[in-house]
Chain A
């Protein structure tokens, strides 16, 4: 009896795991503020997707736009797609477009008004990057780099370029068992139905 129970539980677990990852891989379909829908993993040449959570008025997130653009441009030809995500219900299409043109953002900008993209990918900060492999697994979640050691404590240059490293590792096929995570410095995402005490 006991082994059967165990096997059943394992099967159940496996099924859940698979369905979750399948859902993630199939489910990554986003519509940008220009109305264009992106389903990046339908394209077999895409090797990874970086969702970068931002806000229009977080100074730390804004500081990183030139860096994000450089990383995105360099990784594009290697099959990495970058999307910038606003998970703030108050950010309108108009505000996001204005922000994108002011900061020279070329990547598609996504409005995540129901905050489901942030919840699903475990993003809690802006700026925070989530790197997703074609099979839906998250390989990295955290800061862009370590320029900010803390609020108001900026290094003259980053000494660790975490997102860039994570992309290189993904492209090289090196994958840790669990996603690599770092703690971002910036502005926390306010989830409207946030549980007290977080």
Chain B
């Protein structure tokens, strides 16, 4: 920022406050700040609701600009500065906000227009140039003038004849103001395509398909970013793109038909981008069960990195009552590195944050995620009034919670091993949860003796002496193949020993 704050501070001892205020002018100090941080969205045809491109527009909006800056609502940037250094940071410094405040509180002088920097040459169309693939929603989706926010998925067939590698995805809405955010998922199964339009309207509700991949997200205010170096994300042939879309009614009835541009790499990624989710499975194995009114409910989980990696990006996921989330890396030498801290989680701004420089994390580094929920009425985003007990689930009024660190192996030959290790971690978490549930049921069935036969009796509904996958609880199903050592598709009594050991270990804690 070419703002002359030090000079100003130096002179502040020589002049009165009024004279200092007179020093801050739009042309010299405010225009550079606004053009760099606000105007890319706040200009005609972009997501911002009004333009901030010249003196008159900014003078009129000075007060609200200051309020939303002080609130850290604008520019939209959730990570707390000082916890991770990001390439796409939009955060204003305290000094910048203070400078803007002084200008607003003075007469908002224009100064010498000749000293104003030229208005940036923002791209008019696609921010990253002409995409390699351009697709649109097959039909526009009508959004009413008011009512609750709408979450809707749209399947867009890509019909790719061969595998591709993706560097970036850019979305252009037809009605910017109504589109809050979009997550880009991939579906190889064709299930999303089947669900689309079933209820008579374009798209479908709920996550009734298995995501086979993710290509990032669209959030107003965040420019699309190319993955660094020659990294790229796999896009398998035959995959459909699924836009998981959040609409917020704006007072005006509109219909949205988004267009998506996909930027491809000309060769496969040199390294596999590996998501390390802590806790895994969006917290499904954490037994999230938040009492109504509890403002300090916490979960915590950690994962030990099995081989040297470099972290590329980080992002979180949770729903309405989550309030705070944090991921910290503790290196083998005891040094801690904060990777992400969000102190005012908002489901509506779930960005992915690209590190400015890849973060080196050696083998043995422990990634720890801590998440706090506020399920009291002091949380205005609470979906229930009065508050209700909230458990883990896939609906937006249920809760989830996890932070995903995107890493690459320092040595690509370790990638497969790292992926296996993250899968084992997922299995362990889910099994722990299954065990907890099972233990509860054993106790309530009066069979508190932890024996294989008791576990078998509880689950074996058809009394054939073994457990079919259909008899397993939802969580046990997810770790079924791990428990099924002889891979015959059923769990026999002798295979239930790990489950019993788990239950015993749980009771000891």
A residues sitting closer than 8 Å to B (CB atoms) are 57-59, 62-67, 88, 90, 102-104, 149-157, 159, 187-188, 190, 196-198
Contact = CB atoms under 8 A, between A and B. Distances in A.
Interface of B: 21, 49-50, 59-64, 67-68, 71, 73-74, 105-107, 145-146, 148-149, 177, 248-253, 346, 348-349, 380-381, 383, 385
Per DSSP, are chain A's interface residues mostly helix, strand or loop, or mixed? loop
Given A57-B49, A104-B253, A156-B148, 18 more contacts: A57-B50, A59-B177, A63-B249, A65-B146, A65-B251, A103-B252, A104-B252, A152-B349, A153-B346, A154-B381, A155-B385, A156-B149, A159-B385, A187-B61, A188-B67, A196-B21, A196-B105, A198-B63
Contact of A188 (B49, B50, B63, B252): B63
A57 B51 CA distance: 10
B252 A155 contact: no
A155 B248 CA distance: 12
Chain B CB within 10 Å — which of A67, A102, A151 has the most?
A: A151
Contacts of B346: 152-153
Contacts of A57: 49-50
Contact of A151 (B67, B105, B251, B252): B67
B250 A156 contact: no
A150 B381 contact: no
B251 A150 contact: no
B483 to A, nearest CB: 40
Contacts of A149: 380
A190 B250 contact: no
Nearest to B71: A151
A190 B380 contact: no
Nearest to A157: B385
B241 to A, nearest CB: 28
Given A150-B71, A190-B60, A59 B105 contact: no
A116 B62 CA distance: 21
Given A103-B145, A188-B67, A90 B49 contact: no
Given A159-B385, A196-B106, A151 B73 contact: yes
Given A59-B49, A63-B146, A153 B380 contact: yes
Contacts of B249: 63
Nearest to A66: B146
Contact of A190 (B62, B177, B248, B385): B62
Chain B CB within 10 Å — which of A57, A103, A152, A196 has the most?
A: A152
